[in-house]
Structure 1
C-alpha cells in the first residue's frame, strides 16, 4: 500500500492514525434501507469498506502535501491524552501518528501550515499536545488556518457547554497566536484554495490544491464512505444539516466527476484517494 504519491507538482503523504471498524452501516446512515445496503454490500466488502457484520471500516488520517512553496498538513486526526467519548480515542497514548510522520520523512518542525476541513474531534486532535499541565501547538513553526464560519459556530457551541476538542485542540492554538481565522474564499498563492462545503458542519470546507487548477481536492467529512458515492443523498447521523450536506455532496461529486482531479478522502479505507467517476445516478472512486 503506497502512502506517498505525486499529483502534478504536489507530493502527498498519508499519515494514518487508525484504520478500523467504526459503526454498523445502518446506524451511521439512518436513511439506509436494507435493500440499498444489499445492492452495495459485495462492492463495499471488496473495497474493505464493510466487514461481514455490516460494520463500516474507516480510516482516520492526515494528509501532508508538499507544494513548491509549503509543507501543509490537512486535518490533524485524533491526538493523544485527550478526554473523548469514543473509548478507542479516549486518553490515547500511542505513538502511531508520530511514527507515521517519521516514516514519511518528516517531523513536527517541518510543517508550515495546518489546515482543518472542520473542527470535529478526529480532525483537530494533533493540533496540540500535552506539555505538563497545558496544551501547546504540536507543530511549532506552523500557522493554523481555521475557516471563519466554522470557528464562529464552535465558539457559540462552546459558550453553551464546553466542547472538549474545541477547548483542548483549537483554543490553545488561538491563545498561542498561531491561528489565522480566514474567509471561505481564502487562498494561499496560486496553489491552495478553500472550497465551501457546508452541511456536515456549517463552515465545513474542502481544500483544493494545484497551480491554477484543482489537481487534488481534500474532501474532509463531506464523504465518509464509498457507500455515499453510490447514494450521494445519504447523510450520516453526525451531519448538523443532513439535507444541506446531501446537496453539497452531490454538487461536489458533479463538479469533480470524470475529471483528472484526485479526490483525497478523510475516511475511505486504503488507498483512500482516487478519481471520481460517474456511475448511473451515482459515482465510484477509481483508485490511483
Structure 2
C-alpha cells in the first residue's frame, strides 16, 4: 500500500487501518453493471487521483481491516481476505500470500491479543483472516477473540454451503426484494465454520442494540442478506464502519449505483440512502472498507445530494 497509515481518535478509541491489498481491478461498467452510462462522467472531476485513474478509467480500491483499541478492548472490524484461500472465481483474491499479520504486529497487536472480531457481513474479503491454514486445517487466527456477527448471515451461509434451500431464519425477508446473486462458494467452509466449531462465535440480531460499550450493529441489508454497519460512540464522538454499503466515493455522489457484488439490489439502495442521511446528520467519521487513499472521511449534504471528503 502506498498510503501512509494514520491512527484516528474517536473519543477514547484509537482506530488504525491494517492493510491487505490495494486493487486497480475494475472499470466503471464492470463494478456498476446496471448503471447509467453517463453516471461516471457527471462526477469524474470530483474523483481524486488516488481513487481513480483517468488514463485507464480504472477505480482504485483497498481491502483492509480496522483495528480499534478502546480502554478495555482490542477489536478488529472485518478481517479482509486471508492467505491461501481458494477463490478461483475471484482472481484478485485467489491464494493470497500477504503480510497482514506482520502489519497487525507493526500496529502493536498479536493475534492472541484481539478480544473481539466484529463482522459486517460474511463475504470473502471481510471474513478471510478469521482463519489461517495450519497443517492443512483452517484454525481461528484470533484464538482468544469472540467473533460477533449476524445470526441470519450465519444461517444463510450454512444452508448455502450445504447446497440446501434457505429456510426458516435463513430464508431472505421478502422486503429485501429479489436476490441478484449469492455469496461466493467456499467462504463459509474455510472462514466461518471453523470459528463456530471452535466455540468462538457470538451470533446476534442486527437491531441497533449495543453489543459492547458504545458499539452497535446497525441494520443496512442489501449488499448481503443481513449486512450491518457498525457504530462506535465514545465521549460524544461517532464513527460509522460502513462495510460494503459503498465500494467507492462515486457512490456518495451517485447513490443509485449498486456494485456487481450486491446480493439484494433493492435493499442495497435503501440502506445506502439511510447511511448517507445518517452520517451527514450525525457528523460521523466514516471508516470504509474499499475506498482507497485514507479510507476515512465525512459525508456532507449539498442540497439534495451528498459529498465525500477524505480526512
What TM-score do the two structures reach when normalised by structure 2? 0.87
User: Matched residues in 2 for 1:214 and 1:205: separation?
Assistant: 20
The equivalent residue for 1:176 is 198
Give the paired residue count. Answer: 287
Give the drift of 1:195: 0.2
1:144 positional shift: 0.6
Q: Secondary structure at the match of 1:210?
A: strand
- Compute the RMSD of aligned alpha carbons: 1.7
The match for 2:308 is: 285
**Aligned 8 A contact 2:28 2:57 in 1:** yes
Q: Paired residue for 1:257, among 269, 273, 280?
A: 280
Residues 145-178 of structure 1, C-alpha deviations (whole Å, 9 max, x = no match): 1211111221121121793111000000000111
Structure 2 residue aligned with 1:27: 30
Gaps of 5+ in 2: 165-183
What is the Cα deviation at residue 47 of structure 1? Answer: 4.5
User: What is the Cα deviation at residue 119 of structure 1?
Assistant: 0.5
Query: Aligned equivalents of 1:154 and 1:233: distance in 2?
Result: 27
Distance 2:70 2:276 in 1: 25
Q: How does 1:1-288 map to 2 (within 5 A)?
A: 1-84=4-87, 85-95=89-99, 97-160=100-163, 163-185=185-207, 186-211=209-234, 215-288=238-311
Q: Give the superposition deviation at 1:35.
A: 1.9
Cα distance in 2 between the residues matched to 1:187 and 1:259? 18
Equivalent pair of 1:192/1:208 in contact (CA under 8 Å):
yes
CA spacing shift, 1:156–1:212, aligned 2, 3 Å: farther
Provide the TM-score with structure 1 as the length reference.
Answer: 0.94
Q: 1:131 to 1:47 in 2, by over 3 A?
A: closer
In structure 2, the CA distance between the partners of 1:146 and 1:45, relative to structure 1 (3 Å rule), is same
